[in-house]
């Protein structure tokens, strides 16, 4: 078992040196480093469309109901949310022909 461990440490050292020529070989007597602690993921933002019900595509200037299949295809960068269909129309958007909001 000790030979296998030593061979593994030697192989790891060779790989480390190959990646970074200035790196020192691993010390077989050294304690292994603690695993890095993962940071918690940031809280997901609530979709504004869920609250308003109207999702618009900035590129096509079309607005949809939040559950429209066409609205699901809009990239996040192109999404805009409105409080009502009237507000979207006033902003120059046209209604979707599929969901007819």
Span 22-38, pLDDT tens digits: 656 666 666 666 556 65
Domain enclosing residue 75, as ranges: 48-95
pLDDT mean for each 10 residues of the chain (101 residues): 65 59 62 60 46 86 94 93 93 95 88
At residue 13, the pLDDT reads 62
Residue 31 in domain: no
Total structural domains within the chain: 1
**Cβ neighbours of 61 (radius 10 Å):** 13
Q: Is the pTM for the entire model greater than 0.85?
A: no
Contacts 24+ apart (CB under 8 A), 2-6: none
Predicted pLDDT of residue 5: 61
The predicted pLDDT at position 3 comes to 72
Residue 33 included in any domain: no
pLDDT of amino acid 27: 65
Which sign, positive or negative, has the C-alpha torsion 59, 64, 70, 76?
A: positive
């Amino acid at each position: 078992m000790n030979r296998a461990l030593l061979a593994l440490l030697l192989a790891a050292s060779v790989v480390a040196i190959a990646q970074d020529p200035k790196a020192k070989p691993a010390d077989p007597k050294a304690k292994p480093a603690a695993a890095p602690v993962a940071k918690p993921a940031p809280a997901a933002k609530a979709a504004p469309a869920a609250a308003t019900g109207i999702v618009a595509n900035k590129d096509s200037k079309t607005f949809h109901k939040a559950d429209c299949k066409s609205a699901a295809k809009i990239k996040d960068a192109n999404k805009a949310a409105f409080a009502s269909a009237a507000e979207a129309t006033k902003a120059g958007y046209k209604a979707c022909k599929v969901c007819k909001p």
